[in-house]
């Protein structure tokens, strides 16, 4: 049996569009416009096993959404091969749709004027499930996602957190083998985010659903995904276990220095140490331990500043990701 849910080989997507040339006349621009081309995804390859939880991250315009849309059969690749559960999304879009679920955080698939039950039943029919099975699955999802308190309310009256839970539940009505989530926690408060992440983890554990997620939220990546693929300028620049991602910049240590009184001046720092932030009450410096070891850097910093407290820590995941984006 194939152990991979998703196999992508040399996938490329180019968008071409007409660009107006200011030096040409309107007639030329109308009938023979210049064509420009953008390479949104450039020759990427990766494989994902059944039940894996993948964060597919990158800065805005990196090619994340384009990739997700090619994997789900919405966009046609310019070149390369995609295999999702044995299907080619461009040729077998409908067959594949029965096996996958999609959540696009910024768009709703629910029927806004009707109670949530109607949307769930509607999608059950859309996925050609028998009536009994639809009812059983709705009951299951209502309990799992705690939808009971608002299932009879029209969808447009739900809070954003409730709606997102409902969106994910609707995407899971047909027990998909893979769920693609495009920024599912966008705009949610911390409680709603945690609740959604917990639910996705439970679905992954109970039903072995493969999770493929794009997000700008580090919390989603840290708490939900066991593997992270970083894409920038359409190219994969990192593909590693999420816990190893934090170690990427392990040679950098952060030191917080809390002022005994106030810091009045900010002297030049020894080589290997640089300011990350400067404030009268607190300074944060970054130490490159390839250039200066921690003990020596602490000694030098204490010679320079009068401090009340010191805190040494590794870069958090958000900083690591920012570094990766900036360095690329």
Q: Is 19 in the site for other proteins (CB under 8 A)?
A: no
Q: How far is the CB of 275 from other proteins (least distance, A)?
A: 36
Q: Three-class SS of residue 3?
A: coil
Tokens of 18: 């007409």
CA dihedral 228, 108, 191, 138 (to 10 degrees): -100
Which window, 19-27, 60-68, 257-265, 292-300, contacts other proteins (CB under 8 A)? 60-68
Q: Is the dihedral of CA 192, 198, 201, 206 positive or negative?
A: negative
Which window, 51-59, 70-78, 189-197, 218-226, contacts other proteins (CB under 8 A)? 70-78
Which window, 72-80, 205-213, 232-240, 308-316, contacts other proteins (CB under 8 A)? 72-80
Q: Quick check: 197 and 208 in contact, CB under 8 A?
A: no
Q: How far is the CB of 214 from other proteins (least distance, A)?
A: 9
Separation of alpha carbons 200 and 207, rounded Å: 10
Site map for other proteins, 76-95, x if CB under 8 A? x----------------xxx
In terms of CB distance, is 63 or 192 closer to other proteins? 63
Q: Is 40 in the site for other proteins (CB under 8 A)?
A: yes
DSSP secondary structure of 56-80: EE-STTSSHHHHHHHHTTSS--SEE
For residue 60, the tally of other CB atoms under 10 A from its CB is: 8
Q: Is 200 in the site for other proteins (CB under 8 A)?
A: no
Residue 324 CA: distances (Å) to CA of 23, 51, 230, 245, 316: 40, 27, 9, 10, 13
- Residue from 2, 32, 79, 113 that binds other proteins (CB under 8 A)? 113
Q: How far is the CB of 125 from other proteins (least distance, A)?
A: 4
Q: How far is the CB of 172 from other proteins (least distance, A)?
A: 14
Residues contributing to the site for other proteins (CB under 8 A) = 15, 40, 64-69, 72-76, 93-95, 97-98, 100, 102, 104, 107-109, 111, 113-114, 118, 121-122, 125-128, 182
């Amino acid at each position: 049996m194939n152990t991979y849910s998703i196999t992508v080989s040399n996938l490329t997507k180019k968008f071409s569009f007409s660009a107006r040339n200011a030096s040409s006349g309107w007639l030329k621009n109308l009938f023979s416009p210049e064509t420009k081309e953008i390479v949104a995804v450039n020759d990427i390859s990766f494989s994902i096993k059944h039940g894996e939880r993948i964060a597919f991250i990158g800065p805005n315009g990196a090619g994340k959404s384009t990739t997700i849309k090619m994997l789900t059969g919405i966009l046609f690749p310019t070149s390369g091969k995609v295999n999702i559960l044995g299907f080619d999304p461009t040729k077998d879009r409908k067959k594949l749709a029965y096996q996958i679920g999609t959540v696009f955080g910024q768009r709703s698939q629910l029927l806004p004027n009707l109670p949530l039950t109607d949307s769930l039943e509607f999608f059950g029919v859309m996925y050609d499930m028998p009536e009994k099975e639809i009812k059983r699955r709705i009951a299951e999802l209502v309990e799992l996602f705690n939808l009971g308190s608002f299932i009879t309310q029209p969808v447009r009256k739900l809070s954003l957190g409730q709606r997102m839970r409902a969106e994910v539940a609707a995407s899971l009505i047909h027990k998909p083998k893979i769920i693609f989530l495009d920024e599912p926690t966008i705009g949610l408060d911390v409680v709603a985010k945690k609740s959604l992440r917990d639910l996705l983890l439970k679905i992954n554990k109970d039903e072995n659903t493969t999770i493929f997620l794009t997000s700008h939220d580090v919390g989603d990546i840290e708490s939900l995904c066991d593997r992270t693929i970083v894409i920038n300028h359409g190219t994969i620049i990192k593909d590693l276990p999420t816990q190893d991602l934090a170690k990427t910049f392990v040679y950098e240590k952060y030191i917080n220095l809390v002022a005994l009184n106030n810091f009045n001046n900010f002297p030049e720092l020894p080589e290997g140490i640089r300011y990350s932030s400067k404030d009268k009450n607190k300074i944060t410096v970054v130490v490159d331990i390839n250039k200066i070891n921690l003990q020596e850097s602490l000694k030098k910093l204490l010679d320079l500043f009068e401090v009340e407290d010191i805190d040494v820590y590794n870069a958090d995941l958000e900083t690591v990701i920012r570094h990766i984006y900036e360095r690329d």
